[in-house]
Structure 1
């Protein structure tokens, strides 16, 4: 059937990765996480020289050292990198070798020109998604790296226990640390990096080369500041129209000045979450945090960091309550795009931090978020002759999200015009696939069979394009989930849905609307979990209550479904139709008949045959639903 608004817009957030892990491959791996500190001054002093040292250093130390220790870099993001090793001994030895190499190279530079790296190493289970990894093993490594001091290596207790008798250097216990999304604290150890001076005296390097391990991560920092170095190094596809944002360090407004760590943690989590949005470029922490504690002119920051938007805010925490005020500002005009206050109570500071940062990320980067809305006006302000591929996408998406038959046809005309101008556009092909799906499942199609046929065709055409952007990859997996749903291949539909969410785990709109896929596959608990995540982080999206109700109806939880949908009203024909199914199964046939009358008043074209054509669930479930609707008075044809 359906009900869902479909579309697309935005280190993996661990709790989502765990939810997805059931259908993905797993393995035990040693994960090395590293990021660069102390970057901005170096770039200000000698941008061109830094670029040259980055390029040379990447080849000299970073890539060969990890390769020599049998590792593989699987992610470069923001100001950091992640690598995996089959051997935890290799991972730790590599971390130490990198820090020693960096120390050697830094010795040739004045202190204010040095680039330092901090590293975390963990041994744990990871979830495999293509060439990428997610899960606890990655999450803990990233947290260890954030704890480490510049030039240091922190490891988990598992790592220390595994290698302490196999390697020559020692480990200093740093106590147990509570980490986000972990029920139990993790033992943390710092590696005693002894012997570096002797190594430096035996292996001299030229001053002109920067640390290789820093090179790749700093390359991404340079992308944050200017953009072009990123493409030069890594050739990652992205649209020049993708908005960019800098998240400033949130102000600590608590009575206790020592709670600055909490406000910094909120800011860093927002940066990490926004960095997972495929259609958003996020400035690295080391660039945006240079303004911490200083008077700020947002327009000047926008020029210096080359960003379209700036997010700033404040944190006030006392006892078991935290209040965060966030505001999004247009960096060109200085005008406020959006502002909101978030309040949360609880005894676990990590949970407080998670709850609010997830809501802020959803409000900004979700498919219904503030950045997408802000971009609509820019697209509509252009004349037709100057429209680019991304403008057509935004214009059509603006209409599509109004979710009426009339607006849907306007989106169709916009995207058809765009496809005529850009016939190879994967972006527009995928969006047209979403439109075909929406028309078919909501009964708005003039040719349902043709629309359903084209969903899979457009999805596979789009995904076959070369050099897909992160946004297009996310959209492709999302649309393929629907294509497989239409083809009643529920197992592959769920796999594609999980792949889409893995690419943008903070897109509350997408996570919530995709819940119909696990529902159709029979995993009702997962479907409810996804809708709850979507509603929690995108509370204005009332359609998710319908999605949740639909999932509960499929699972035979009719009373729960009706409670979830009761507050929606009867503005959309499928709402009373789903409630009619619930009522029949609860023995309330007269109530079911009233619901069907409301549905036909909203859209008289609905019949039992049409329901069967537009609903994608198990055949036995569908037969029961059709029988229920006929009993409630829906015409058979």
Structure 2
């Protein structure tokens, strides 16, 4: 058969984390690939498709019918859910291809491959063209995710997900935030108030910004490269009503219009972005940095007003749009419409003006130009951030050489060092990707390099995280928490809530969890920490109510699933616990210590062969022997406490303490240890007293 052209649906599949599985257990990896191919062959034939190629752990196939391709993908994912679970990503596109005997070519093939690369295990992603073919198929529900700009693909590609109760279907907002790396995404529309408040507060805030900009430009005379107009421009985001009072929606629109009108009349600004242009970008789910670049905007003005009883909490934030960092943030608690003007005049005006002045002066002196011939560094950085955001071992391994290449190309760019610090901190801290000593040392080294180049808010928050979790430095943590906690929470975790839950300050844990949820309402970690706080403070009814509401919504969020599975386990909700453990095994094949612990618990509960349980415990002990992070000794202790083998439990708890496992910080509030705490067991109190807890 010669080469010929044809319109086809193209499907790519790939086994998530296969490389890591192969490194850890070659026999398991080969068995998974064999089962994957058997199922793929049978179902592709059943749905009238043709297998074109196998490559390692992936496949390429074509279908004459787009509907057949999507229904085949659904059948595949259903089959892959059966034990042993195979975590597979699937991407589909339809287009013109050139077929030969053993290969296909064409732009459509590249698009299908790119769509598969952004999919998540257990999902089916496809292009807008495929979605168009499904409009008449009432049995196939779809969800728009985002518009992607793929490498070597000229036109932007709308990407959709198939919706089904047996598929992983990312929430659109959460997925857009994760894949666009927009630090402002979930908190972009954040200045709501009533009309009387705005007339005073909004006007003073405007004057603050204008004074800061005017002083800066008067001093510097000339704006720094690459584009001075961007530094003289501002975007006022649409105001979001967070008061819980629907009547305030109309005020929010008026507030936005008034802000734009007043800014447009000021001589200090070259440009105020029209409201309609901003709304177009927000409607498309575009990241704010992309909007700022396209519209040549230097600053973003936002805020939030929260209503409680008869009083308000007012948040104010000023952001550098292009550098993706906040310049200034403050919360004023329990203010009324009468005293907001006084607060703004006495405190906010000077702070915002000073911050703008200092920021733009330092930008002129030390800003890094972005030359056109170095754009590869920024493309690599974007790819590395996308991989790191997935927070699994395979993706982090893939991201590391990209960050290292960014550092080679742009040694004065802080983002590359910050990316490496983030991997060593989160990857080591929670998931045990690296050795414990390596995680602590390398995260500190990269964080220091990043902060030396640019002391961003994100870096300050990560420094607090490493001081607390790696060094157990309670004095530093207590001193800096009150300072750093007023800054915008950062996306990698509801750290302030975790911190207070660990120390038994559950009311504070709930308050910080609420703050995180307001900032990132589509991320699960804030809800997980609120649930954990209610559970640990014996408010089980509230914890249970929240889990009933949010377990299904955040089943794709590994932070939520990891922590809430623990709550279900300790509350005795074994069916829910095992369901969440199955989700972890389906989506995150990393053999993290916590995953092995959950597996051992589930096997013990089901009464499975003790030899199989011992295999899981042996893997945990091997991680401990190799010095891996992820707290293997702690989870070995927790397993033995669960089965009431307290002697062995305390042996491993001592080893966890000696190793300074991250999880040993839960010694004070961990549910399984409360029986020893109440009984004042000397084995427990000996360790407890050595922790030197803060007051």
- The TM-score range, normalised by the shorter chain, is 0.3 to 0.5
TM-score, normalization by structure 2: 0.39
Q: Name the structure, 1 or 2, with higher relative contact order (CA <8 Å, separation 6+).
A: 1
